[in-house]
């Protein structure tokens, strides 16, 4: 099987830096497993890696789509596999880097997805309902999905309801069956983490830096451009909250508080998700004297024999 490196983990654990450093040693090319960095113009709120930070390492699935375009797991899987084909043809190793666990699993296990276009009338009907009502509907037919889908993630709630409407059985059952598949690659799955207090401090500091760097102006420009509020691009953490502020629905202080709180909650859910991965190699940043150097050395010691 083809070799594959995965560097995953909760937000603000240094995944991008580790992916670049490791790729420079092993001849890797990075594939971003992020639902926001794929969009052009969504730079500050997504903590998008800069050209300088890439240090010459090729990166894929960054700045690929316009903010108005849709993006979901099936699109990600298709784009990622196309990028990987080119990487293998160049004799390099793909390094998937990100915190979106299901995106990563879709590639690692080559998960099969059903069509999302069978009944648009039902989708339009759902889109008219209140998010709380939608969540109650999902809880009634697929309570297991409610454990991994947040009430505010309307698009995923709707997709889960669509799946049940189309097939008659829960999408959580389908996903569990797909995740039981064997890995399609000879993979090394690294998960970066840290002490919770330190992680939360870095998350709060990152949000403050985003705001100081112009997050409000970035979201305002997207809003003025006419990017729909319910578009996939605007559902990213930081974007929907600042959009609420610009719409006069909260103060900037309230928006910043919500971003920090929800980012911490998201990080906790990310850790829970990756604990399901049986072959994950966990890397606790707090155990290393110099994480920037030592973590890469740790990963190199757990790759394939030359």
Give the separation between CA 132 and CA 84, rounded to whole angstroms: 39
DSSP for 219-238 reads HHHHHHHT--TTSSGGGSTT
Domains in the chain: ranges and CATH: 3-111+181-300 (3.40.50.300), 120-177 (1.10.20.140)
Q: For position 217, what pLDDT does the model report? A: 98
pLDDT in tens, 223-265: 999 999 888 899 899 999 999 999 999 999 999 999 999 999 9
pLDDT(306) > 60? no
| CB of 99 closer than 8 Å to CB of 115 | no
End-to-end Cα distance, the chain: 15
Is the pTM higher than 0.85? The answer reads no
Give the separation between CA 244 and CA 187, rounded to whole angstroms: 41
List the beta strands (DSSP E) in the chain: 3-8, 28-32, 59-60, 93-97, 186-193, 280-284
pLDDT in tens, 117-146: 555 778 888 888 888 999 999 999 999 999
């Amino acid at each position: 099987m083809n070799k594959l490196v995965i560097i995953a983990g909760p937000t603000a654990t240094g995944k991008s830096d580790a992916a670049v450093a490791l790729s420079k040693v092993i001849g890797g090319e990075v594939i971003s497993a992020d639902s926001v960095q794929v969009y052009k113009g969504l730079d500050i709120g997504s903590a998008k890696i800069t050209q300088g930070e890439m240090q010459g390492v090729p990166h894929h699935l960054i700045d690929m789509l316009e903010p108005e375009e849709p993006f979901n797991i099936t699109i990600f899987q298709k784009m990622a596999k196309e990028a990987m084909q080119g990487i293998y043809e160049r004799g390099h190793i793909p390094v998937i880097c990100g915190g979106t666990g299901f995106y990563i699993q879709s590639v690692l296990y080559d998960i099969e997805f059903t069509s999302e276009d069978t009944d648009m009338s039902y989708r339009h009907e759902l889109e008219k309902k209140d998010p709380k009502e939608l969540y109650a509907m999902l809880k009634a037919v697929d309570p297991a999905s409610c454990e991994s889908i947040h009430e505010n993630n309307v698009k995923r709630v709707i997709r889960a309801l669509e799946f049940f409407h189309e097939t008659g059985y829960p999408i959580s059952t389908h996903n569990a069956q797909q995740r039981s598949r064997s890995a399609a690659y000879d993979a090394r799955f690294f998960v970066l983490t840290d002490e919770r207090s330190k992680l939360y401090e870095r998350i709060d500091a990152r949000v403050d830096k985003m705001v100081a760097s112009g997050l409000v102006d970035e979201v305002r420009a997207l809003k003025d451009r006419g990017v729909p509020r319910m578009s996939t691009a605007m559902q990213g953490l930081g974007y929907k909250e600042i959009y609420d502020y610009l719409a006069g629905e909260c103060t900037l202080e309230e928006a910043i508080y919500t971003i920090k709180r929800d980012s911490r909650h998201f990080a906790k859910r990310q850790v829970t998700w990756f604990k399901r991965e049986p072959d994950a190699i966990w890397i606790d940043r707090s155990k290393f004297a110099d994480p920037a150097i030592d973590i890469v050395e740790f990963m190199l010691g757990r790759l394939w024999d030359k």
